Structure 1
Amino acid sequence: MNAALVVFILGWLLLGLVALMLPAVAMAAALAEAGALDAFLLTGGITGFAGGALVTAFGGQAIVADRKHALTILLCAWAGIPIFAALPFLILTPMDWHEALFESVSAFTTTGASAFPRLVDVPQSLILWRALLQWAGGLLTLVSAIAILLPLYGGEGFELSRAERVSEAGGSRKQTNYALRVILPLYAGLTVACLILLLFANIPAFDALCLALSTVSTGGFMPRDGTIALYGSVGAELVLAVFMFLGAVSIFWTHTLLGGRFASAGASREPIYVLLAILFGGVVVTTLLWLRFPAIDAAWFQYVSLGLAAAASLVTTTGFPISEEAFALIPFVLIVLVCAIGAGRLSTAGGIKVSRLVMMLSQSYNELNLLLFPHSIHPTVRTAGALRQVTIGTIWALFFLTMLVLALLILMLSATGIGFEAAMLAAVTALSNAGPFYEIGRLAHLSADAPTIWEMSPVAHLLMSAAMILGRMELLAVLSLARLLLQRE
């Protein structure tokens, strides 16, 4: 393998990280946060020097369209960039190195778990930096899913659209260029639209910006302590619910829908499943809120918005703390299960993904039917398109690999002194990139037995950081990379 090529691309990614710091630098300067400004300039200098040195030293490399190189670069990006991105957290706060790294990995993988006890003392430029990292991590997630992971899974058994077929042809470089050309304008446009609507919903400008960056990336970082309900804006809750849904379904489906091709968008079942899950969950949470806290006058509409936003936050693995009362009504087991399932493919959401679950259930039903009636004639099983045997085999392998890693992670976290239920919640939320639900579930169901994230040991922080990277990278991609690296050239 050409290691020089991997290092060369990593150098460019580090230079991109420097560019991402510019809004945080501008805010630190505008708010006269002298310490933050110095920290970002120092971090930018170190990162820029490292990136520039790598690009200069290893320049002139031929960009090859090879799966081994693409997966190696992706793993190095997820694991390496957070190390440099963690420097502002380490410099500006009392965090230890493992806490700063945890915060950086959580942001970049759009997980959203936080090691900050409270945000009131954190510089606003650093809060913006977390949101920017989440946004950039969401973009990398989408690009890598289309350019690298989609071909690896063979289309996941779906009838690919013309756009998706184009993205599978011509090697990793062409796939990446195509993904950026299609995704970046749409991703940025959704962020701007979310920001504008939040401003119209009377959310303060800084909070609206951070919320928009975290919503479209389904990251879940809050710009201040507390819940979304404390803003007192029904409109903001509905806006967040809509854009969490758009962030958690296929980016191609969103492109098709916004392009006015409603017939094509309606032919895809997975977004419909996600939407139905949000609507059903919203109705259930709204009903429970109504029964527990009877509405007075127009408060019923507030319950509807809280219910929909809470359901969207859970189903999409975003993890915004919508309302303490709403999440306290959701059973602990259901929180763990929904986080593990996740939302849509080719999105920034985490989890196993709805489409894969539907395909496994459909194939299981077909096999059971064949076992009960072995001599009957069965039509070809179709689940949102052609279900190829090689694809369903890949998805089952991914499922069992996820369960194995999850079990090992729970055992290792338990060994650090965390109770079993807390270890299970931490493992699921880290591997599914649904980090805020650890704190939400802890407060609602486990507060007496579960430590906060900032109370966990360094080993627990490192284990969860590794799980967040594995969840965002996709376990099957890591296994495929290991196989490619171990086989003979």
Structure 2
Amino acid sequence: MNFNVLLKTTGTVLFWESILMLPSLIIAIYDNSYDINGFLISIIVSGAIGLILKNIKSDVNDMRKREGYATVAICWLVMSIMGALPFYISGSIPSYIDALFETISGFTTTGASILQNIESMPRALLFWRSFTHWIGGMGVLVFTLALIPSIGGRTVFLMRAESSGPAPGKLVPKLSESSKILYIIYAVMTAIIVILLIIAGMPVFDSFIHAFGTAGTGGFSNKALSIGYYNNPYVDWIITIGMFLFGINFTLFFSILRRDWKNILKNEEFRLYCFYSFLGIMLIFLNVLPKFQFNYAEAIRHSAFTVSSLVSTTGYATTDFNLWPMFSKSILMTLMLFGSCAGSTAGGMKSIRVLILFKSILYEIKRTIHPSSVQTIKINNKSINDDTLKSILIFFTSYVMIIIIAIILVSLDNFDFMTTFSSVLAMVSNIGPGFSLVGPMGNFANFSNFSKIVLSACMILGRLELIPILILLSPANWKKH
């Protein structure tokens, strides 16, 4: 393990985290709120530690795959630890474990909260809380690569470890240029959401808060009733479409810029994502229609919003879907598990893995019926190699095992099964709300500190898709060779 490379990259991320806290400090100063010292101390501490570490002499060209994966895991842990300081130092969240839970939920774009009186929080803390969604949505290391090409080298391992889904590719030959393109697309789309929400009648500050949550598919709101507080159909449809779009692989938006429409329409993952999203909307619409007194406009609006929110793992709500029929909740839970596309800001298993698993089942059936035939599994007319199939099988097995272990551990709190199961699934899939006590109108405040630590670990495991954290915990990774 090359510790100098690890420490240098971690220092760079910490330094930039201190810079990213500045807008929140400015808001705190403008409002003259009690959280000024919280942000000031946090910026100084994280900035100083970052400067010291980033000046360690090392050659990033020495970064290997294991350094890349371990660095990503450590950066996310350290970034969350430092990001929780403003909440804790200001006294807004007196328990550091609660503050850490809230911060991890922000950076991992989960959107689960322990706050019971959200509207009493200072605006600066609310801004930082939602801004962590935007920072974590595309990935902190991807953000760092976009800003600082000098840390390039073999840092493709950082992007592979942090990006969702099977190994991401470059949009252009230089990795730093790919990162810049991704963030430009990300920033422009976020700005469009902000402008549209303001035009729809949402206050400017609220528009930024909810645009960050929509873009990062996080779901933090500054209102206890989430998007339902505004009761505005225009706001609902803007965010519905926004959540769906941010669940699409960002390389397809690059294809739009290049006017490569054929690549978009032929993309099998995109087509599957659209298929089960729209199928879910229509089935739930028909199922909940009586609950809305056969008001078709209201039923389709809330059905589309809820499906878009959960399939993109955002977690915003316009209504309490916890009260919907079991059929609708079963569909929503399935969509929570599937998630959106790889290479998006969303969580879940990802459509591409679901597609490959489904094709693998068909492949085995055909091979059993016709053992002498030569067949391969193809996605977008490209054959899937054995290594990719093996990695997806390992991911799926690890995913299920972590959910089972976490359910057993969280069950020590003795909540009902639906609360326990859905809370773990919501954390691993980075969704936020679950069902029963952790539904859209509930929160995670009543869980024990032990369960909050377990659920926090689930959020990071889900966001980094297991492997970087498992590599970090492997003793063999830390041996000198």
TM > 0.5: yes
Give the equivalent residue in structure 2 for 1:170.
none
Answering whether residue 306 of structure 2 is matched by residue 310 of structure 1, we say yes
**Structure 2 alignment gaps of length 5 or more:** 146-154
Whole-Å separation in 2 of the counterparts to 1:289 and 1:156: 33
Give the equivalent residue in structure 2 for 1:279.
278
Give the equivalent residue in structure 1 for 2:296.
300
Alpha-carbon contact 1:433-1:471 (below 8 Å) kept? yes
Alpha-carbon contact 2:141-2:158 (below 8 Å) kept? no
Whole-Å separation in 1 of the counterparts to 2:31 and 2:102: 23
Give the 5 Å matches for 1:51-450: 51-56=50-55, 58-59=56-57, 61-92=59-90, 93-140=92-139, 143=142, 147-148=156-157, 163-164=170-171, 175=175, 177-295=176-294, 300-325=296-321, 328-329=324-325, 331-375=328-372, 377-384=373-380, 385-435=382-432, 437-438=433-434, 441-442=436-437
Pair 1:153–1:76, CA change in 2 (3 A): closer
Pair 1:344–1:441, CA change in 2 (3 A): farther
**Which amino acid counterpart does residue 309 of structure 2 have in structure 1?**
S
**Structure 1 alignment gaps of length 5 or more:** 168-173
CA drift of 1:123 comes to: 0.8
Pair 1:484–1:352, CA change in 2 (3 A): farther
Whole-Å separation in 2 of the counterparts to 1:308 and 1:196: 22
Whole-Å separation in 2 of the counterparts to 1:344 and 1:141: 19
Whole-Å separation in 1 of the counterparts to 2:316 and 2:126: 15
**Which amino acid counterpart does residue 387 of structure 2 have in structure 1?**
V
**Which amino acid counterpart does residue 291 of structure 1 have in structure 2?**
P
Residue 463 (structure 1) aligned to one of 447, 454, 460? 454
Q: Which moved more, 1:144-153 or 1:107-116?
A: 144-153
Q: Which moved more, 1:216-225 or 1:226-235?
A: 226-235
Alpha-carbon contact 1:410-1:420 (below 8 Å) kept? no
Q: When the two structures are aligned, how many residues end up with a matched partner?
A: 467
Q: Which moved more, 1:142-151 or 1:362-371?
A: 142-151
Give the equivalent residue in structure 2 for 1:485.
477
Q: How far does the alpha carbon of each residue in 1:162-198 deviate from its partner, in whole angstroms, 9 at most, with x for none?
A: x44x56xxxxxx53x2332221111111110111111
Alpha-carbon contact 2:164-2:465 (below 8 Å) kept? no
Pair 1:310–1:187, CA change in 2 (3 A): same
Give the equivalent residue in structure 1 for 2:149.
none
SS of the residue 1:220 aligns to: coil
Whole-Å separation in 1 of the counterparts to 2:107 and 2:39: 17
SS of the residue 1:198 aligns to: helix
SS of the residue 2:81 aligns to: helix
CA drift of 1:10 comes to: 1.2
Q: How far does the alpha carbon of each residue in 1:246-281 deviate from its partner, in whole angstroms, 9 at most, with x for none?
A: 211211112212443212211212122222222222
CA drift of 1:420 comes to: 3.1
CA drift of 1:480 comes to: 4.5
SS of the residue 1:471 aligns to: helix
Pair 1:239–1:147, CA change in 2 (3 A): farther
Q: TM-score, normalised by structure 1?
A: 0.88
SS of the residue 1:453 aligns to: coil
Pair 1:444–1:78, CA change in 2 (3 A): closer
Pair 1:383–1:487, CA change in 2 (3 A): farther
Whole-Å separation in 1 of the counterparts to 2:72 and 2:166: 24
Whole-Å separation in 1 of the counterparts to 2:15 and 2:439: 42
SS of the residue 2:138 aligns to: helix
Alpha-carbon contact 2:313-2:339 (below 8 Å) kept? yes
CA drift of 1:152 comes to: 7.1
Percent of residue pairs bearing the same amino acid type? 23
Pair 1:152–1:389, CA change in 2 (3 A): farther
Cα RMSD (Å): 2.8
SS of the residue 1:322 aligns to: coil
CA drift of 1:399 comes to: 0.5
Pair 1:434–1:485, CA change in 2 (3 A): same
Alpha-carbon contact 1:191-1:213 (below 8 Å) kept? yes
**Which amino acid counterpart does residue 322 of structure 1 have in structure 2?**
T
Q: How far does the alpha carbon of each residue in 1:282-336 deviate from its partner, in whole angstroms, 9 at most, with x for none?
A: 22333334322225xxx53343222211110011111111211586246444333
Give the equivalent residue in structure 2 for 1:8.
8
CA drift of 1:426 comes to: 1.4
Alpha-carbon contact 2:277-2:307 (below 8 Å) kept? yes
CA drift of 1:369 comes to: 2.1
Alpha-carbon contact 2:141-2:159 (below 8 Å) kept? no
Whole-Å separation in 2 of the counterparts to 1:468 and 1:156: 16
**Which amino acid counterpart does residue 71 of structure 1 have in structure 2?**
Y
